[in-house]
Every structure is written in structure tokens, then in C-alpha cells.
Structure 1
Amino acid sequence: MRFFETTPLGSILNRFSADFNTIDQHIPTTLECLSRSTLLCISALAVISYVTPIFIISLVPLVITCYFIQKYFRVASRDLQQVEDSTQLPLLAHFSETVEGLTTIRAFRYEARFQQKLLELTDSNNIASLFLTAANRWLEVRMEYIGACVVLVAAVASITYRLQNNLATGLVGLGLIYALMVSNYLNWMVRNLSDMEIQLGAVKRINSLLKTEPENYKGLLSPSQIPQDWPNSGEIQIQNLSVRYDSSLKPVLKHVNAHITPGQKIGICGRTGSGKSSFSLAFFRMVDMFQGRIIIDGIDIAKLPLQTLRSRLSIILQDPILFSGTIRFNLDPENKCSDCVLWEALEIAQLKHVVKALPGGLDALVTEGGENFSVGQRQLFCLARAFVRKSSVLIMDEATASIDMATENILQKVVMTAFHERTVVIIAHRVHTILNADMVIVMKRGAIMEYDKPEALLEQEGSMFASYVQADK
């Protein structure tokens, strides 16, 4: 879960589409071209060296020059081909801004065609393509210079060697023919080497997925050590809990301590970034609890298998989630409950009349994402689903943030009546939604600042909770 939270969806799709396509289709072709051009270049130099052994002396400076040229070209080519927008490369950004500035000059305003061409150039793909073409031409010119030097050295060496050693005319011609082709071979060898370096980046990115650290699914407790009805009462003890999203990041919760008795309704409030949502994620072990622990009904949740932990707790999120299928499937995915229990849950959520009016009743279809229901109705379906699960612990993470006041009142009424025997942790979007809670936790910068009954906090002078309530009116 942490991987999908921290990795953009587009990046994942690119790994399984563009990168795999590069590995399957492009790398073999590029490798073949690179091998062929390299072998041709080596064979040409070998023939020249065989015809005129003195040529080997001149290879040293030529090879050094070629090395620095190809190194510079590979760096430039890699940057230009990998750029996705002009802001990623200062040179492209500067060029784009310069061209855009030219379009504002009075002298060019009358020339609409020229202005349009300049605007087309500001597109990042056009700019990258333009610079890549220029880089290829840059390489071609310099490889031709090296090729000319090879021809010159080979010709002088052949003439000198023929005069001294009576070299056959045919061998001289053979050496010069190969010397004329060296520049072309060098050009393609460097280009293919640059392309291969870029394409191997796809292998590196996919290989990084293999090194993704998996979550600890198994846990330390076996199924026989976990009671079938856990959690049965809903007592929660939070002891010196510190939480962070990654080992390289700072903690978002710092030394949090709290004790929630069975059946209590706990409201949690605070400014944005105070750690409210991180508090709820800690119950499902979706964040790194590097210090402290959460004990629910006598069992440390860090020792539980993830499947067991997440299947025994219930949560209602800010954005209600429904799945494609039937209403029955959305309320009871494991098909464990009878129709009477499902209708009871719908009646508690005040959706019974809505479902009865649909063709098929409980077997009525739910479109993708529940688009055939309003946001408020989707949230109430999530509430009914939580009731069906019969979990002793319910977490509501800003569940009223995206619904209207009428639906919010229904939600609060159901929580205080149908869930009166269950422990409910309410992450408040609006402070007035937790005024009827048994206890209130006020958080700031990952720490608990106030923890008391709402009435007691409202009576305290300088209370943060009282200031939040006043600002919410």
C-alpha cells in the first residue's frame, strides 16, 4: 500500500508499457546495430594496421579524441532524449523563453507566419527534437574530421611504407578504402552506444521494482493465537507511538499516548498537517511505526498478520468507495451475511427505501465507482458496510467532508445509536461533528496537545479546542 501511495500511477503504467516495449523491441535491434558498427570499425582499423603497421602509432591520439567526443555526445543525447518538458533542461528553458520573447518584439508583429513558427518552437518536444538533430549533426561533423585524419595518416603511411618496403598497390588501395569508411562506422557506433545507454535505463527502472520492500504480511502470531472474535470489546491503548512515512523522513506522530475504553466515541481534531490522518493510518499499519505500539484488546497490532488486522477493523474514508457489481457485493463482499442483516444495515443507514425502489433490490447493479448514486448515498452505503462487518472498532477519517449537512446529520445519528457499543475514532473535518463525543484529542505537529471531555475543554481558558469551535461557527 505504501508503494502505491508514494509512486505516481503514470510511473507504474510506464514501467509496464513503454519500458517493457523498449526492452522487447528496441534494445535487441540497437544491440545488433551497435555490435555490427563496432565490429566493422575494428575490422577497418585492423586492415589499415595490417597494411601499414606504422598507422598503429597514430591510433593513440585518435582514440583519445574519439573517446572525449563520444562521451560529450552521450551526455547531451541522454539529456535531450529524456527531457519531457523544457523546465527539466535549463538550456531548453532558456531557448523557449527567448523565442517567446521574440514574439513580443514590435518589429516581428506584422509577420504572422514567422510568429507562428516561433510559437511552435516553444513546444518542449519540438525544442528537444531540434537540439537532438543539432547534436547528431555535431557528432557527424566531428566524426568526419576524425575520418579525414585517419585517411590522411593511412595515405601518408601507405606511401611511405610502399617506398620503403615495396608494398603491393592492391594492399594500399584496400587500406585507403577502409580508411574512407571509418568515419561512417565511428558515427554509427557512437550513436548506437548513446541509444543503448538510454534504453538500458528502462532495465534499471524495472529492476528497481524488483527491489521494492514488501510489507510484513505474516506477522509474529499464528492464526491459532488470535481469538476468532478479536477485537471483541474495542479497548485501545496507544503507548509512546511515533510514526513516519519512510525511514528517511521525519516523524509525523511523536510520542503519542492515549487510552480509549471500550465503546467510547473519540474525536480527533487539529489543523492541516497536525497528524490526524496519520493517526488513522497507524491502526492499519500503512505507515512505519518505528517506536511505541498500539494495543487493541490486549494484542499488539504489530504482531498480527496484515490480512487479519485489516479485515477485523472498519474504516469510512473521506472519499466513499463503491465497487462495480451489486449492492449485495458492496455490503458483504465475502457473502457471509443473510438478507435480513443487509436490509437491517440499509435501514439503519436510511437507504432501505432507495434500494427497494431499484430493480432487483439487493441485486441492483452498482456502476464503476458508484456513479449511479450521489456522494452522500455512497457514504451511507459505506456506513452500512461498516455495520455489516460487526467490527468493534470503527475509524471515520473525515467521513463528513464531502457530504451535505442533511447526510452528515444522518451519519452522526447512526454513529451515536447503532454504533453505541462499538469504539469509534472520528477524525473531524468540522469541529462541531465531535461535540457529542465522549473524549476529544487535539493534535498539533504530530503531538497531542489536549485530551479531555469536550465540555471540559470548552470551559478551559485559552483552550485550543474552544478556539476551533469558535472559528467553526
Structure 2
Amino acid sequence: MSADLEWQGVGDDDQEVTRAAGLRLARSARRLVGSLLRPHRGGVALALLILVLENAVMLTGPLLVALAIDTGVPAALDGRPGELAWAIVGYAACGLASAGLRAGFLLLSGRIGQDVLLELRRRVFTHAQRLALEWHESYTSGRLISRLTSDLESIDDLLETGLDGLLGALLSLGGITVLLLVIDPVLAGVVLAGFVPLVLLTRWFQRSSRASYRLTRTWVARVIVHFVESMNGIRAVQAYRREARNESIMDQLNGRYRDANAAALLTLSWFVASVRAVGNVTLALVLLIGALRVTDGALELGALTAFLLYLRRFYDPLDQLAQFLNAYQSAAAALEKLASVLDTPETVPEPEHPQPLRARGELEFDEVTFAYPRRWSSPQAPSPRAPERPVLPELSLHVPAGQTVALVGATGAGKTTIAKLAARFHDPTSGRVLLDGVDLRSLADDDLRRALVMVTQDPFLFSGSVADNVALGRPSATRAEIEAALAAVGAEFVQDLPEGVDTDVRKRSGRLSAGQRQLVSLARVVLADPAVVLLDEATSSLDIPSERAVQAALETVLADRTALIIAHRLSTVAIADRVLVLERGRIVQDGTPRELLATDGDFARLHAAWESSLR
């Protein structure tokens, strides 16, 4: 299978953008920029004022040169050096003032730019954490990393030159154009005639470079995705000798990224070369016509000198403008990608007016139906697509406070979906999920997370100490409370670690076994002290000794708490007060383990098959 085929399905974000979708993205990007700059309106206005003053000072210099040549030098030859001296002092003062204003502008614009980047990075990170699990599964972490790295770097490049490159260039062009018309309208007409090809070139550059930079943002995202996936799966890569295949894919992706960058740079090079060609031709014509006018006495030599100095400065801003347009097109493509993430709606938003909760642990599913979306939509139309066939056709279930309920059934029966709905990772398609009589959609997220904790098959431990990871359940816990929680679940292995509870678990908790990681996650639950615990196949990946240790810990964890246990290993079901057997999202059996074993039903057959597998 080719690398291109492997990369099908990366996401609509990485497909060619249609014109209509491109317009929507551009509008979203403009709204984003407006919201980011709005708090800095005063600073932007001050920076603009400084820039205007700097350009005014800069434009004064050639006038002083003309004054010195046409008036100061003749006066000095007549024994009156004062006028020449004042012109020279004025020129030096303009240079010093320009340098000071430039320093002030760079400091102010730099601070504004960094504040904007900080806010943008914060928004994307905060919003991404709130988005649905399905969005993260389809978008991939590598693409999100690309948004927060390479895309932000493009915006940083623009902010460094944005006000200066655009506003500075426009102010210079406007001021110089007026001065050229004042000095000599004939020569100014020659210069303005050169604007016709410049306008056409600029329009071509805008269209071509935008398309090129959209491709560069797409391909750099794919490079990062592949890199992150390869490093995250490094054990499988080395175990299955996939290094050569990964290198081949990276070579192809890198090549596409290189070609996209080359196309963007080629567009820029043609634009800059064409602008300079127009400028050089115009300069030659001005020099020829100006020399003839000086010879005829229609123009002073000093005025021609000032005109040529201004003309030289006239094309310098065009170079700056070209660089700005280049940075702008790259940043605009990056802003579109970032705006598409920020425009993606939260599927489980917090209520505007949350209801209070006194958590006891009573769970109820009231005529709940649920279907996963067929595929998460593109960022150009950020909303879930039409749902699939319901995973839960219509579920009504009451779990009294303090009851331990085991959910069993074949893969795809809906067990994990029930747990995700109880944890409000999703909202039901119809119906209600209630905790102590309150719809989960009416609860503040903090209240729900304090009342309910989920323990998964492969618990995630963050880099840091064992104590830090246990304290995730209650960050304000004392050292004694953390150690007590570990002791409560029988995590005696901590005593054998080099630094006890202060031992760093390392990246992906590589220092701990699967059973030890699970005990740490259960200690989190003890410390958090929730009313409801959801266990999603918490022992399915453990060996027999580890499973027994975790089973013993579960007796402590589940005491006096409501629990939903999803288990394939039916040894875990033995601690349940009640067993629900699911088939295609429907409850087909409901009773105690003893009652269900006494019948000739699905649970009895599952239990018999499990016992047979142990022989």
C-alpha cells in the first residue's frame, strides 16, 4: 500500500479547500484576528502613531538634502554657512529621531504580538480539551500539535513584521507619492504609470500564494502526524521492523512538504523579481527624463536628487510589502486552520445556569437512545454528521445509590457506551441520564467530575511522581492522605520504589507495571471519594496475580459507592450486586449473579465459556 493510500482519511481539513469553504474559512480567520486584537486597541493605536511619526521623520530627510544642495551649498559659497549647517543638523536629528521611534515601535508591537500568541495558544488548548472524544480520534494529536507549533510560528512571523510591513509600507508609499507629485508632476506621472503592472502582479500573487500556503500547512501537519504516530508507537515499530516503511512514508510526506514550500517560494521570487524589474525600469526612465529636464532648466539638480532619493525609498516599501504579503498568506492559511478548530462546537457544553447537586450516587437512564456520528465533520462545517444506527435503541435503567452493577455482553453490545453516557463524554440522542434526579446536562462539569470517576482498562499516568498522580483525584490532598489512599488499595509496591511515593513514573508510566498503574488509578478514586465509580474493563489487561491484587483493592474502592462495572473477565462480576446482560444495546437479563447462573440464559453460557477458557 502506498503512502498516499495510507494517508487517505486524514480528515477534511487536509483536503483541497473549495472556493466557498475557503471564503468561510477566511471569514472565520478575520473574526478570530479581530477578537484577538480587540483588547489591544490602545496599544495598536499608539504603535500606529509611532509609525506615522517615524515615517514623517524619515520623509523629511531627502527634503533637507535638496535644501542643502539647492540653497545651503550656494549660500556657503557666498560666505553664509548657516543654512547648510542647519540642513546637516536637521538631517542628523531626523536620523536619531527615526532610530528612537523605530526602537519604541518594535518594543510595543513585539509585546502586542506575544500577548496575541499567548491568548491564541491558550484558546486552542482550552477549547481542544473540551471537544468530543470522536473529534480527537479523527483529528489526531499530530494535527493538533501542528496547529500549536508550525501554524503559530507562521502567525508569529506575521506579527513580527505585520504593522511595520503593511502599515509602514502604505504610509511610506502614500507620503512619498505626495512628495513626488509636489517635487515634479511630470516625473511623478512616470512613476505612477508603473503602478498598473504592480497592481496586476499583486493580485496574481495574492491568489497564487494563498493556494500554495494552504498546501504547506496541510503537508507540514501530515509530517507532524506521522512523526508523532511513529514515536508513540515506537515499540511496535521496532518489534515489527517497520522503520523502513516509516522512513518511506516520511520521505514522501517530506517531499510533498518540500514541493509545497518550493511552489510558495517560487511564487514569491517571481513577484519580487517582477516588482524590482518594474522599479528599475521606472528608475531608469526617471533618471533619463529628469536629466533632460535639468539640462533644459525645467528642474533643479537638488530637486532631481531628492526625487531620486524618494524614488529609491518608494520601491523599498514595495519590497517590504512583498515580504508582508508572503508572511500574510502563510499566516492566513494557518489562521484558517486554527479558526476551524476554534469553530468546532462543544458537543457536551456546560449549562448556563447549573443546578446544585448533593451527590448520593443514584443513576437513572430515562428512555435513552444514542447513536455515534458516522464521521466527524470537516472544520469547514464543524458539526457532527448524521448519526449511525443507534447503539442504544431505548434504554431505561435505574441504579440505586450504593449498588454495584456489572455490565456484560458481547463486543459492541453497548456496555462502554453506557459508561460514556454516565460520565457525560456524550449526551444522549434522546432521553435523559440523571444523577440523583438531576439531568447531567444541567450539572456543572466540576460537580459532575467530583461526583463521578471513571477507571479505564489502561489508566493514564502523567509524567511526575506517584504522589502527583494519586493527587489527581484531589489536588489539595496532604501527603498523609495520599499515602493512606495508596495503603487502602494495597499498593505496597510503592515502598520498594527508589524514592517511594516521590518516585517519577517516567514517560507513559514506563517504570510501573500494568497492575501497579491500575492500583495507582484506584488510589486516585479513594482520594477523590466520588459517589459513583465507573470501571471499564479495569482488570482485562492484567495477569492473574495483578488481577487478584486489583480485585482486592476494588472491595475498598467500591464500598458504599454506586458502581458500573464493564467486564469481560467474569471473575470481576462476582463482586457485583446485580448483573445486566446486554445485546445490541438492550438489556436481555437482569438479576444477581447467583440468580442468573441458575437460569439457562446468556449469562450462564458466558460464565461457562469463561470457566472453560481457564482450564
Contact 2:536 2:565 in 1 (8 A): yes
- Output the CA distance in 2 between the equivalents of 1:73 and 1:418: 62
- Aligned partner letter, 1:330: V
Aligned length: 425
Match of 1:368 among 499, 505, 527: 505
Matched, 1:459 2:586: no
Say which of 359, 363, 366 aligns to 1:236.
363
Name the residue aligned to 1:265.
Answer: 405
Amino acid paired to 1:74: S
Aligned partner letter, 2:275: M
Residue 275 to residue 337, structure 1, CA distance change in 2 (3 Å) = farther
Decide whether the 8 Å contact of 2:205 with 2:268 is kept in 1: no
1:367 aligned partner, one-letter code: D
Cα 1:317/1:141, change in 2 over 3 Å: same
Note the 1:212-361 alignment, pairs <5 A: 215-216=349-350, 220-222=354-356, 226-227=357-358, 230-231=359-360, 234-243=361-370, 248-251=384-387, 253-254=391-392, 255-262=394-401, 263-271=403-411, 275-289=414-428, 291-322=430-461, 324-325=464-465, 330=470, 333=474, 334-335=476-477, 342=484, 346=487, 349-352=489-492, 354=493
Distance 1:249 1:156 in 2: 67
Aligned residue runs from structure 1 range 65-464, under 5 A: 65-75=200-210, 78-79=213-214, 82=217, 84-85=219-220, 123-124=255-256, 126-147=258-279, 150=282, 167-168=298-299, 170=301, 186-199=318-331, 215-216=349-350, 220-222=354-356, 226-227=357-358, 230-231=359-360, 234-243=361-370, 248-251=384-387, 253-254=391-392, 255-262=394-401, 263-271=403-411, 275-289=414-428, 291-322=430-461, 324-325=464-465, 330=470, 333=474, 334-335=476-477, 342=484, 346=487, 349-352=489-492, 354=493, 364-368=501-505, 371-387=510-526, 391-412=530-551, 415=554, 419=558, 422-430=561-569, 433-434=572-573, 438-442=578-582, 444=584, 447-448=585-586, 450-453=588-591, 455=596, 459-460=600-601
Q: Is contact 1:346–1:381 with CA below 8 Å preserved after alignment?
A: no
Question: How many Å separate the matches in 2 of 1:187 and 1:468?
Answer: 77
2:210 alignment partner, SS class:
helix
Structure 2: distance between partners of 1:457 and 1:422: 27
8 A contact 2:533–2:562 mirrored in 1: yes
**Closer, same or farther in 2 for the Cα pair 1:237/1:148, shift >3 Å?**
same
Q: Is the 8 A contact 1:240 1:293 kept in 2?
A: yes
How far off is 1:432 after superposition? Answer: 7.0
Instruction: Give the superposition deviation at 1:4.
Output: 8.4
The answer to whether the Cα contact below 8 Å between 1:457 and 1:466 also exists between their aligned partners in 2 is no
Helix, strand or coil for the counterpart of 2:459? coil
For residue 238 of structure 1, give the secondary structure of its aligned residue in structure 2: strand
CA contact (8 A) 2:453 2:533 kept: yes
What are structure 1's unaligned runs of at least 5 residues?
A: 89-118
Give 1:258 deviation, angstroms. Answer: 2.1
Work out the CA distance in 1 between the residues paired with 2:410 and 2:556.
26
- 1:62 maps to which of 182, 186, 197: 197
Change (3 A) 1:196 1:339: closer
Q: Please give the alpha-carbon distance, in whole angstroms, between the structure 2 residues aligned to 1:297 and 1:220.
A: 14
Which residue number in structure 2 is paired with residue 105 of structure 1? none
- Offset at 1:238? 0.4
Is the 8 Å Cα contact of residues 52 and 161 (structure 1) preserved in structure 2? no
* 1:2 lines up with 2:139 in the alignment: no
Give the TM-score normalised by structure 1: 0.66
Mark the CA change 1:74 to 1:31 in structure 2 (over 3 Å): closer, same or farther. farther
CA distance, structure 1, for counterparts of residue 187 and residue 324 of structure 2: 29
Would you say the 8 A contact 2:154–2:330 is kept in 1?
Answer: no
Shift of 1:277: 3.2
Change (3 A) 1:302 1:136: closer
Q: Is the 8 A contact 1:76 1:135 kept in 2?
A: no
Asked whether the 8 Å contact 1:316–1:399 carries over to 2, the reply is yes
* 1:95-153 deviation per Cα after TM superposition (whole angstroms, max 9, x unaligned): xxxxxxxxxxxxxxxxxxxxxxxx99974555455444433332234324534664687
Cα drift, residue 283 of structure 1: 2.0
How many angstroms apart in 2 are the aligned matches of 1:269 and 1:278?
12
Residues 208-244 of structure 1, C-alpha deviation per residue, up to 9 Å, x if partnerless?
Answer: 888786942775333xxx44xx31xx44220122456
SS in 1 for 2:131: helix
CA contact (8 A) 1:396 1:427 kept: yes
SS in 2 for 1:287: coil
- SS of the residue corresponding to residue 512 of structure 2 reads coil
Alignment-mate amino acid for residue 186 of structure 2: V
Report the AA paired with residue 269 of structure 2. R
Q: Deviations over 1:299-355 (max 9, x none)?
A: 433333322222122332222345644659827845489879938x746x4445x45
**How far apart, CA to CA, are the structure 1 residues paired with 2:529 and 2:313?**
80
Q: 1:111 aligns to what? A: none
TM-fit CA distance, 1:459: 3.4
Task: Report the RMSD for the aligned CA atoms in angstroms.
Answer: 5.2
Decide whether aligned partners of structure 1 residues 238 and 248 sit closer, same or farther in structure 2, where only a CA change above 3 A counts: same
Partner of 2:246: none
Relative to structure 1, the CA distance from residue 219 to residue 372 in structure 2 (aligned partners, 3 Å threshold; closer, same or farther) is farther
Gaps spanning 5+ residues in structure 2: where? 1-128, 224-250, 377-382
* Bigger mean CA deviation after superposition, 78-87 or 187-196: 78-87
Change (3 A) 1:82 1:303: closer
In terms of mean alpha carbon deviation, does 290-299 or 429-438 score higher? 429-438
Q: Which has the higher strand share?
A: 1
Q: Deviations over 1:58-93 (max 9, x none)?
A: 4674355234333245325534653544979xxxxx
**What secondary structure, in the 3-state scheme, does the structure 1 residue paired with 2:564 have?**
strand
- Supply the distance in 1 between the matched residues of 2:171 and 2:480 (Cα, whole angstroms): 74
- Judging by fraction of residues, say which structure has more helix: 2
The CA distance in 1 between the partners of 2:555 and 2:253, in whole Å, is 63
| Conserved? CA contact 2:570–2:607, under 8 Å | yes
Amino acid at match of 2:416: S
Taking the aligned partners of 1:187 and 1:77, their CA distance within structure 2 comes to 20
For residues 557 and 469 of structure 2, what CA distance do their matches in structure 1 show?
22
TM-score when normalising by structure 2: 0.53
Q: Aligned equivalents of 1:393 and 1:68: distance in 2? A: 62
> Is the Cα–Cα contact under 8 Å of residues 275 and 318 in structure 2 kept in the other structure?
yes
Alpha carbons of structure 1 residues 4 and 424: separation in structure 2 relative to 1, 3 Å? closer
The structure-2 alpha-carbon separation of the partners of 1:155 and 1:14, relative to structure 1 and needing over 3 Å to count, comes to same
Q: Is the 8 A contact 2:157 2:327 kept in 1?
A: no
